[in-house]
Structure 1
Amino acid sequence: MIDFSIPDELIAKRDRIRAFVTDTIVPYERDPRLTQHGPTDELRQEMIGKARAAGLLTIQAPTEYGGWGLSHLEQAVLFEAAGWSTLGPVAMNCAAPDEGNMFILSKVCNPEQADQFLRPVIEGHQRSVFAMTEPGGAGSDPGQLATAATFDGETFTINGLKWLITGARGAKTWIIMANLETNDHLQGGPTLFLADGDSPRIVLERIMNTMDRNYVEGHGVVRFDNLQLPKEALLGEAGQAFRYAQQRLAPARLTHCMRWLGAAERAQSIAIEHAKTRTAFGKTLGEHEGVSFMLADNEIALHQSRLSILHACWLMDQGEKARHESSMAKAFVSEELFKVADRCVQILGGIGISDETVVEMIFRDMRAFRLYDGPTEVHKYAIGRKVLR
């Protein structure tokens, strides 16, 4: 049986989140601490405090950590509501990269690692990064991983250069992917490590200037300069980084879709209001067929995107990995929501390219979304390989 109804309890939670984001977080969109490089950590902490007071902090966490223990379907409904403002997920501590990092840490780390590296992130006291992407190395193809790690039986030593490391400045919990060289103690190959971001051997060289500005402290270029970690820093099993990354990426690409669906809805609502009130050539913009058709195309895209997300989430709630379906969702949703944002800019006309509304910011961030957790082309490549088998 196919049931598309949302339980009353979940509707109440959704409406509570939407009200919190609208009333408390949207005003921060004009805060000067929302910089070219995203919200500052100071702004994040202030918003985190608001969410904590409202009982809406890190709702996706397991119940043993104080969260709501949400299913993937429940996340889809609630993250969409949080995404009404691009700052909503930041405030509620369900934004990338922390949300995805919390997920993988809750699955892989041991109790001692959880106390040191996971719990403070869940509680909103510190931020995390996932350091994989490299200039000329790992990116869409992680098999090109160039950062190297050695192990002498007691200490790991890591050297390498990473970039596009989201939230690197000020983050305390670091998940580092490096290629562990052959040794006499552990299996070699791509491996994950946990590190404290305060280490002087984690060198933040610069913050990159990018078109998006919704991630806390932007994206950094980071060098590991003989970073030495104890053997307890090993996250999971040696040589299994790609397997663990896949566990993180399938749900994470869907939560990206959920949050950005909310932002696209916001842009559509602003475009609709403008089309109702702005006049041209003797009638409102909405009465012109060209504008009404764009709004209709947006509604169709929003609806189809939501269905694609919900289907992949439903499969995952049934215990399936849903890699194929989550890839289809990510490819489809990211492309369609970008078109939604683009049409909203067009409907708004001159103010659409200004900061008179948040649509311009949503448009730029939505363009970056097409690359997060794998560009569309990589997902289509994977989808094509599956259908050709």
Structure 2
Amino acid sequence: MTVQDFDALRTRTREFIRQVVVPSEPRPGQRLDSDTRRQLQTAAKEAHVFAPHAAEEFGGQGVPISHWSPVFQEAGYSPIGASALNCMAPDEGNMHLLNLIASAAQKDKYLVPLVAGDIRSCFAMTEPHPGAGSDPDALLSSAEKVAGGWRINGHKRFISGADGAAFVIVIVRNAASPNIPAGATMFLVDMINPGVSLGEHVHTIDRAIEGGHPHVHFEDCFVPDEAVLGEPGSGFRYAQVRLGPARLTHCMRWLGLARRSLDLALDRTENRRLFGASMKDLGIVQEMIAQSVIDIETSDAIITKVAEQLESDPKRGSALSSVAKVHCSEAIYRVIDRSMQICGGDGVSDELPLASYLNEVRPFRIYDGSNETHKWAISRRASRARRVEIEGGEQRLDRVLSSVGEG
């Protein structure tokens, strides 16, 4: 695709979201129903905006990561836009992982129908305390190698989209066995497998993800060897392949919602007068608008940088995605919160959707690893990089002094 093609897709997406999707939105606080989602996805295919991130060979638009953001932001202008375009979590992250890791047979069985929107999926890593949460290394769920396959046992919690999903990508711990190192392994498991069962739903304030956030139980769940995703024992490495881009696409989508929130606030200031002056001319309002523009533009800039890094240097890009996740989740919340404040009583009522937007973005400071966990990792990486820099400088100085001495 050329730059002109990317721009054309962004324009088509913008028009589709505002003309087709926005009028179909549920009332604030309500969920998108499956029938409406399917109708919107059919319309998105007809408008040639469907699955922008997925490879063309599987039915997507084939947009590379470095160009996802403008399109995802346009989709995110509506809280149901990403679902309409089939680039919503957790399916979008699973498509990315399957495209990179899955075998040809696995792609035919799982990726093709997922990209088409015929099925949904989920990703199961989080567990009840003291199992894996922000720390994946705390995995308690396990898989045992048995004749002809594996037997999985464990309890997963907060598995977004699990209710109604056709399959789950589950990551569990495995012991060492012949030709297989100890570590973690990912499996593709059909949700109709008799060893899989849904538990109670975790009721949260967000509504955008279809299928909720239920518990999922694996009890003597047998899967054949063909269910292993990638190489056994490499699950932690694959998790980073998935989680880095997935964090960033959350930033992209919610930034689109922040832009819409600011638009609602700007419309309010344009049409209201307070204390004998136009609201838009009041200094305190201008300060709030300016700070929101700054939050949006800085978020956009760091998303663009990380997206380029994920394409050129995935390891560095995945590390930098932590910075984007923390900054964007907090900046986007501030934009929506200021917009609510500017809109006064209507901002906290169902007359405007702003309160429901705040409910959608607030969990992002916890989802995909809490911001505090990411800040801890960011700090450690900064300290380590500085130590390496100093040690490298000292080694270079030693070499210079040594060569001088030899002369």
Name the TM-score, length of structure 2 as normaliser. 0.90
CA-to-partner distance for each residue in 1:154-213, whole Å, 9 max, x for gaps? 131111111110110110121011112344463332110001112232111122210111
Contact 1:149 1:159 (C-alpha < 8 Å) held by counterparts: yes
Distance change (3 Å), C-alpha of 1:54 and 1:162 = same
Displacement of 1:120 in angstroms is 0.7
Partner of 1:13: 9
Structure 2 contact 26–32 (Cα < 8 Å) conserved: no
Q: How does 1:254-269 map to 2 (within 5 A)?
A: 254-269=248-263
Partner of 2:123: 130
Give the total of aligned pairs: 381
Percent identity among equivalent residues? 39
What SS does the aligned partner of 1:193 have?
strand
Deviation at 1:101, TM superposition (A): 0.4
User: Counterparts of 1:50 and 1:225 in 2: how far apart (Å)?
Assistant: 40
State the shift of 1:31 in Å: 5.7
How far apart, CA to CA, are the structure 2 residues paired with 1:315 and 1:180? 32
Secondary structure of 1:273 counterpart: helix
Instruction: Name the CA distance, whole Å, in 1 between partners of 2:65 and 2:179.
Output: 39
Residue of structure 1 equivalent to 2:158: 164
1:295-320: CA deviation from partner (whole Å, max 9, x where unpaired): 11000110111011111112233344
Measure how far apart 1:237 and its partner are: 1.0
Aligned to 2:218: 224
Q: Partner residue of 1:308?
A: 302
Looking at structure 2, the residues matched to 227 and 98 of structure 1 have their Cα atoms a distance apart, in angstroms, of 23
The aligned residue for residue 3 of structure 1 is none
Residue segments in structure 2 that go unaligned for 5+ positions in a row? 385-407
Q: Does the 8 Å contact 1:207/1:220 carry over to 2?
A: yes
- Report what 2:400 is aligned to: none
Distance 1:13 1:70 in 2: 9
Question: After alignment, is 146-155 or 233-242 more displaced?
Answer: 146-155
Q: Aligned pair 1:359/2:354, yes or no? A: yes
Contact 2:25/2:32 (8 A) holds in 1? no
Displacement after TM superposition at 1:239 (Å): 1.2
Quote how far apart the aligned CAs of 1:272 are: 0.6
- 1:282 offset after TM fit, Å? 2.0
Q: Equivalent residue for 1:270? A: 264
Structure ID, larger Rg: 2
The CA RMSD over aligned residues, in Å, is 1.7
- 1:363 shift after superposition: 0.9
DSSP-derived class of the 2:159 partner: strand
In the alignment, is residue 67 of structure 1 matched against residue 57 of structure 2? no
Superposed displacement of residue 41, structure 1: 2.9
**Post-superposition offset of 1:100:** 0.5
Matches within 5 A, 1:277-316: 277-316=271-310
Name the CA shift for 1:40/1:208 in 2 (closer, same or farther; >3 Å). farther
Displacement of 1:116: 0.8
Task: Output the CA distance in 2 between the equivalents of 1:312 and 1:182.
Answer: 36
1:269-312: per-residue Cα shift (whole Å, max 9, x none)?
00110111122222232222111110110001101110111111
Kept in 2, the 8 Å contact 1:153–1:231? The answer is no
With normalisation by structure 1, the TM-score equals 0.94
Give the stretch that moved more between structures: 282-291 or 126-135: 282-291
Match of 2:404 in 1: none
CA distance in 2, matches of 1:149, 1:318: 34
Shift of 1:324: 3.1
Native 8 Å contact 1:44 1:216 kept in 2: no
